[in-house]
Structure 1
Amino acid sequence: MTQKTSKMTGWVLTIILALLFTMSAFMKLTQNATAIEQASSFGIDAHTYQFIGMIEIISLIFFIIPRTGVLGTLLLAAYLGGAIVTHLEHQEPVVMAVVFQTVLWITAIIRFPELRQRLLTNTKN
């Protein structure tokens, strides 16, 4: 894959993830009835769910900005890990969260060469 193709692929995947996370956070922040109903079934009150939406947006902003992208990746991975655990705890399907987590890491490895080097290169010091 050429450097230009790699860059384009990374940004296309970033835009897709940004749209998905933005939609998710928007539903939390606007107190969407469906989202609040699902949160209630997990034992999460509306105020806490709104706070989770703010955390999601802040993490996404860090992910989008190239200089803070690795930090954003870690924050979003932790966020999705919490979502997976919450869904497992309540016997809900986890497929979507696992898919988002996978796409997040693929995107991060494509976008951030320093992360790719640390994760995929066998170096001995």
Structure 2
Amino acid sequence: MSKKRKIINWTFVGLMSALFIMSAIMKLMAGADAEIAVNFVKWGLEGKLMLIGMGELIAAILFLIPRTSSLGVLLLSAHLGGAIATHMEHGEMFIPQAVMLLLVWVANYLRNPEMLSSFFQKDTN
């Protein structure tokens, strides 16, 4: 991988990870009257803020570390899939979560292009 591509990749992965880490910290530090806590109650997820925040934090850290980035992508995909489904269920806009999901996959593809290699292998049967 060229030096320029590495810099672009680390910048992109770093920004995405920072976004998820900040989001997780906001969830973990939110009080009962915080807007996010009120939204979680509205979505039927009362009492799940800490659990979801910890899951998001762990997924973001795994995504940031190159050796564990594949697991991080899977966990962030599950997290964002849940966010998309929740927003759709309540008639809310889900496009930002879908864009973030796409960006997670693009960031990991830039770091690890062989992640999609199984889609492009010729069948030997």
TM-score normalised by structure 1 residue count: 0.89
Identical aligned pairs, as a percentage?
Answer: 37
Please name the residue that 1:18 is paired with: 17
For 1:101 and 1:57, locate their aligned partners in 2 and report how far apart those are by CA, in whole Å.
16
Deviation at 1:123, TM superposition (A): 3.1
Matched, 1:39 2:40: yes
Deviation at 1:31, TM superposition (A): 1.6
Unaligned runs of 5+ in 1: none
- CA RMSD in angstroms comes to 1.5
Matches within 5 A, 1:1-125: 3-32=2-31, 33-45=34-46, 47-119=47-119, 121-125=120-124
For 1:117 and 1:3, locate their aligned partners in 2 and report how far apart those are by CA, in whole Å.
20
For 1:5 and 1:123, locate their aligned partners in 2 and report how far apart those are by CA, in whole Å.
31
Superimposed CA distance per residue, residues 19-46 of structure 1 (whole angstroms, 9 cap, x where no aligned partner): 210121111100250110111110111x
TM-score normalised by structure 2 residue count: 0.89
Deviation at 1:8, TM superposition (A): 1.7
Deviation at 1:5, TM superposition (A): 2.4
Runs of 4+ displaced beyond 4 Å: none
For 1:116 and 1:123, locate their aligned partners in 2 and report how far apart those are by CA, in whole Å.
13
Number of residue pairs aligned between Structure 1 and Structure 2? 122
The answer as to whether partners of 1:110 and 1:116 remain within 8 angstroms in 2 is no
For 2:3 and 2:122, locate their aligned partners in 1 and report how far apart those are by CA, in whole Å.
26
Q: Indicate the SS of the match to 1:51.
A: helix
For 2:85 and 2:39, locate their aligned partners in 1 and report how far apart those are by CA, in whole Å.
15
For 1:115 and 1:3, locate their aligned partners in 2 and report how far apart those are by CA, in whole Å.
18
For 2:7 and 2:117, locate their aligned partners in 1 and report how far apart those are by CA, in whole Å.
19
